[in-house]
Structure 1
Amino acid sequence: MLRQQDVGHRVVVRRIVGVTGDRTLFTDALGELVDLTETDLTIATDKGTVRVPLREVHRAKRVPPARRPHAAAVIALELAADEAWPAPVRSRLGGWILRAADNWTGRANSALAVGDPDRPLDAAIDAVIKWYADRGQQPLVNTPMPLAAPVSAALDERGWTTRPLTLVQTVALAPLVTAPTPGDLPPVDLADSPGDDWYAMVAEHKGTLPGAALSILNGVPEKVFAHVRDADGELLAVARGAVTGPDRWLGVSLLQTAPAARRRGLGQHVMRGLARWAAQRGAARAYLQVEERNTAAVALYGRLGFSTHHTYLTRQGRV
């Protein structure tokens, strides 16, 4: 049987659909597992979304992705994501990018291991360790998979640990742009800069925002900050969008809803607002990064049509 860790991955489910005489009849569903509850599972297939009661599941398992993206596509998306989340302290190691931002978020404080580091792999790892040691930080390396599998294997040999797997998920914007807006939800206000309450909501999730965080959030030419407020002006939901890269990707980050306002469709509402903003700027696809273990968020994004493009591991060395 499938587990919460399988949400966001490609699965095959054999479903019991009836009995004829002494024969049990089955049908198979293949697609991405987007939700798993105590009673049902939901799969996004090529023909649409299918909900299957668990009592009808005969057998289910995770299967390999339909196809792996080309290395060039992984690199291009990782570079667009780096541009959308610009660490204020940066250096180059051949094609690798070394990043530091007062330890605010792993993305902005890790070496992005894409391309050729312009030296043997062991020497590149040594250079990463020294660069972060000179700044008093723990060395981290972001390894997009399977592209950076050799780097990850080399770090295994050195005893580096692994943070939870992150899914890099993508979706076409067109269905979000054309989706109807529910009439019972407050409007999505898209602002060039965040309000104080926007920062406060993000800080509840991400911790105190140092100066480097403000630099990251505001350091992109084409960015927008989504606010949804109730009739009394109380903030209900926030998110940040940024359009970057030659392929004009919309990067979605920090999508959050106030606890008292959850399960009202506000996350999808905000995403539609960001999609329309980005489409006006020439974007056709969006991406986001979510930890595999955050099954509630993975399920939400699955309902919006997101699927996993590739994954990455953040590898952590000793100080």
Structure 2
Amino acid sequence: MIDLVSDWVWGWALSRGTPDPVTEPDGYRIDVGLPAHRVRYVLLDPSSAGPRAGGLTEPGTWLKVCGSAEQVPLSPRWTVEAPEYLMSTGLGPIAATTPPDPYTVELHSTGDVHDAVVRAADGECAAKGRVAVRGRAAVIDVVETDPAHRRRGLGSVVMAELSRAAADRGAVRAVLVATEAGRALYEKLGWKVESPITAAHLAV
């Protein structure tokens, strides 16, 4: 679990272009630097959430805790988000994926970050996602399908393209944090839930 969380933290920071994560006694800190997301703490043990949260006061501070909301002691100052899930899968050789007509898929790479975009016939983005590769681990991030193009298998196309890009660059495992809706798709694709994640923030 510790290795998977480390993979996710470092890959997420790479994907989002933040400074490198800082190791803390209870997990990690990422200085995101956005007004509504100033800093993020990722905690491995739900019992550490209360002590950590008690010392945090600045709006735009986020917590991501390995554990369910019932396990995470937080005061009413914190806004708790919908449940999320840390998930993982192994990676191996993956054949190129052909999207259904009339869609096309593109891959754009900048260093170790790779973006897959599925385009509709008119060239508009129908679905997209990103993977950041760090060593032998990959983090899949910001996967979404435009509402007008859902239920056509495009999310699976994006995931296959990102997984193929990561495997081609030497990654042997992948991790992500999924919403409840995303979890269903990823489980169908062979991903496994490793831990519930509780997300909470101090409102701006």
Q: TM-score, normalised by structure 2?
A: 0.75
Q: Does 1:113 align with 2:1?
A: no
Contact 1:167/1:311 (8 A) holds in 2: yes
Cα distance per residue 1:33-84 (max 9 Å; x no partner): xxxxxxxxxxxxxxxxxxxxxxxxxxxxxxxxxxxxx4x3344334334433
Per-residue CA deviation, residues 229-274 of structure 1 (Å, 9 max, x unaligned), is: 2343232221111112x4x222222222233322221111121111
Counterpart amino acid of residue 193 in structure 2: T
Contact 1:90–1:99 (8 Å) recurs in 2: yes
Partner of 1:20: none
1:190-220 residue CA offsets vs partner (Å, 9 max, x unmatched): 1136xxxxxxxxxxxxxxxxxxxxxxxxxxx
The one-letter code sitting in structure 1 at the alignment partner of 2:141 is S
Corresponding residue of 1:238: 128
* Partner in structure 2 of residue 277 of structure 1: 165
User: In 2 relative to 1, CA 79–98 (structure 1 residues): closer, same or farther, beyond 3 Å?
Assistant: closer
Match of 2:138 in 1: 250
Counterpart in the other structure of 1:169: 87
Give structure 1 stretches of 5+ with no counterpart.
1-69, 116-120, 194-220
Q: Which amino acid aligns with 2:41?
A: A
TM-fit CA distance, 1:189: 0.7
The alpha-carbon distance between structure 1 residues 268 and 96, as it changes in their structure 2 partners (threshold 3 A), is closer
Q: Deviations over 1:102-155 (max 9, x none)?
A: 245x6x74222349xxxxx74x545433xxx3xxx2433221238xx6xx33x3
Q: Give yes or no for contact 1:166–1:290 (8 Å, CA) kept in 2.
A: yes
Q: What pairs up with 1:166-245 in 2 under 5 angstroms?
A: 166-174=84-92, 177-178=94-95, 181=98, 184=101, 186-192=103-109, 221-244=111-134
Picking from 79, 82, 87, the partner of 2:18 is 87
Q: Residue 270 of structure 1 aligns to a residue in which SS?
A: helix
> CA–CA distance in 2 between the matches of 1:93 and 1:180?
41
Kindly provide the amino acid, as one letter, of the partner of residue 254 in structure 1. Answer: V
Distance 2:192 2:24 in 1: 31
Name structure 2 gaps, 5 residues minimum: none
Counterpart in the other structure of 1:36: none
Determine the structure 2 residue equivalent to 1:16: none
Whether the 8 Å contact between 1:228 and 1:238 is mirrored in structure 2 is yes
- In structure 1, give the amino acid aligned to 2:165: W
Structure with bigger gyration radius: 1
Greater relative contact order: 1 or 2 (C-alpha under 8 angstroms, separation 6 or more)? 2
Q: Distance in 2 between matches of 1:178 and 1:89?
A: 33
| 1:288 Cα offset (Å) | 2.0
Whole-Å separation in 2 of the counterparts to 1:144 and 1:168: 8
Aligned counterpart in structure 1 of residue 34 of structure 2, from 97, 102, 108: 102
**SS across alignment from 2:31:** strand
CA drift at 1:166:
0.9
Is the aligned partner of 1:265 residue 2:193?
A: no
Q: How big is the shift at 1:159? A: 6.1
2:178 aligned with 1:290, yes or no?
A: yes
Give the deviation of 1:285 after TM superposition: 2.0
- Does the C-alpha gap of structure 1 residues 222 and 237 become closer, same or farther in structure 2, counting only changes over 3 Å? same
